[in-house]
């Protein structure tokens, strides 16, 4: 039985989340807390296996609470519950930097009950996955950056030498914040990223990652050119693919059917890259649950491109990379710390 602590300043929300979690016969909500201070006092008496934590709370918000939880109880995974506002998106990303396992966003709705019930399956799923991957918490170590840091960036070129396509999910924001800032400003490649994340969060994430990197990073817009030194992140709820437009390679966004339960889907990106850029493409599949990207990563390989997967030890959830390896669609398996070097080497070949 997975013992869970629910932390939320709303008594109604605590009741609803408790009901959702207790409806699963593998989960037992053993205690609730009204804010961060309350949770830190109660957790000493009975340690839960997993904590769900509201982002926005009085007295002590989710960010400060998470800092203290990670310091005092680093072995307990935390799943953030966040409403979709610009401020909350930024706070949620801060929590992922600090080592939260994952987050579930509450859709906007006039009825709180209906809003949270609509993501009940996700809440149960994230809690179970957090428990299953407790031993991987060392892979979501805090990212220490100064919010006001601005790095010098070179002017964007107009050419495209190589294309790097990354598919990533659970554990992704933390992993990308360790990977992308290590890439040089003169990288001879454009990077396209499918990070499973709701609409609204991808823009905030792009802006945050841009502050940390020497590359030019933005949320992708329809028609954006793929050029060396540019990183484009698929917007939440849109598939991202590439197509030829004269001599250019451009991004195309669409709201087609979900693939592997996701929109954006890494498989959509990988297939289009294989068809339009072939052997000059590097496909990278990283930490995440499920199998998105595993199948069409193989198309990049078949087209003469190169493919790598993040290894199990450094992945928060070894789902997507595992499936790709099992399908024999991967040329090399690497720990997170070595992927940046492989990207640089590929761009220079």
Partner residues linked to 218 by β-bridges: 232
Token pair, residue 214, equals 């020497």
Question: Quick one: how far is CA 119 from the chain centroid?
Answer: 18
Token pair, residue 79, equals 């799943």
The rounded distance, in Å, linking the Cα atoms of 166 and 340 is 12
- Centre a 10 Å sphere on the Cβ of residue 121 and count the other Cβ atoms it contains: 12
- The residue assigned the tokens 């070949």 is 349
- Provide the annotated active-site residues: 169, 196, 292
Token pair, residue 250, equals 């451009």
Partner residues linked to 31 by β-bridges: 5
Q: How many residues does the chain have?
A: 349
The rounded distance, in Å, linking the Cα atoms of 186 and 183 is 9
Note whether 269 and 234 are within 8 A (CB). Answer: yes
* Peptide bond before residue 264 is cis, with ω within 30 degrees of 0: yes
Helices 201-212 and 172-179: crossing angle in degrees, nearest 10, is 20
Note whether 330 and 306 are within 8 A (CB). Answer: no
Note whether 189 and 343 are within 8 A (CB). Answer: yes
Total H helices, total E strands in the chain = 12, 14
DSSP character at residue 136 = G
Note whether 114 and 90 are within 8 A (CB). Answer: no
- The residue assigned the tokens 């052997």 is 279
The rounded distance, in Å, linking the Cα atoms of 293 and 324 is 8
């Amino acid at each position: 039985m997975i013992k869970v602590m629910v932390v939320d300043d709303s008594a109604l929300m605590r009741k609803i989340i408790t009901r959702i979690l207790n409806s699963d016969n593998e989960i037992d909500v053993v205690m609730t807390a009204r804010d961060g201070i309350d949770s830190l006092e109660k957790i000493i008496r009975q340690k839960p296996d997993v904590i769900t934590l509201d982002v926005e709370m009085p007295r002590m918000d989710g960010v400060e609470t998470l800092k203290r939880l990670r310091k005092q109880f680093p072995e307990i995974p935390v799943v953030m519950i966040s409403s979709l506002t610009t401020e909350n998106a930024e706070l949620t990303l801060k929590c992922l930097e600090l080592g939260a396992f994952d987050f579930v966003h509450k859709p906007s709705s006039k009825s709180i009950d209906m809003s949270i019930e609509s993501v009940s399956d996700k809440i149960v799923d994230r809690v179970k996955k957090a428990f299953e991957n407790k031993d991987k918490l060392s892979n979501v170590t805090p990212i220490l950056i100064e919010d006001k840091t601005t790095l010098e960036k070179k002017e964007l070129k107009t050419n495209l030498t190589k294309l790097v396509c990354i598919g990533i999910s659970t554990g992704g924001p933390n992993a990308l914040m360790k990977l992308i800032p290590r890439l040089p400003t003169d990288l001879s490649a454009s990077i396209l990223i499918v990070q499973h994340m709701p609409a609204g969060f991808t823009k905030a994430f792009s802006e945050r990652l841009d502050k940390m990197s020497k590359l030019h990073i933005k949320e992708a817009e329809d028609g954006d050119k793929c050029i060396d030194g540019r990183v484009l992140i698929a917007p939440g709820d849109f598939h991202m693919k590439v197509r030829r437009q004269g001599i250019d390679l451009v991004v195309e966004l669409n709201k087609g059917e979900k693939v592997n339960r996701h929109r954006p889907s890494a498989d959509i990106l990988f297939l289009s890259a294989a068809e339009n850029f072939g052997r000059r493409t590097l496909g990278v599949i990283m930490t995440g649950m499920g199998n998105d990207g595993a199948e069409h990563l193989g198309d990049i390989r078949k087209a003469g491109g190169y493919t790598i997967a993040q290894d199990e030890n450094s992945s928060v959830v070894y789902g997507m990379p595992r499936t790709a390896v099992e399908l024999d669609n991967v040329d090399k398996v690497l720990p997170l710390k070595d992927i940046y070097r492989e990207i640089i080497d590929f761009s220079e070949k």
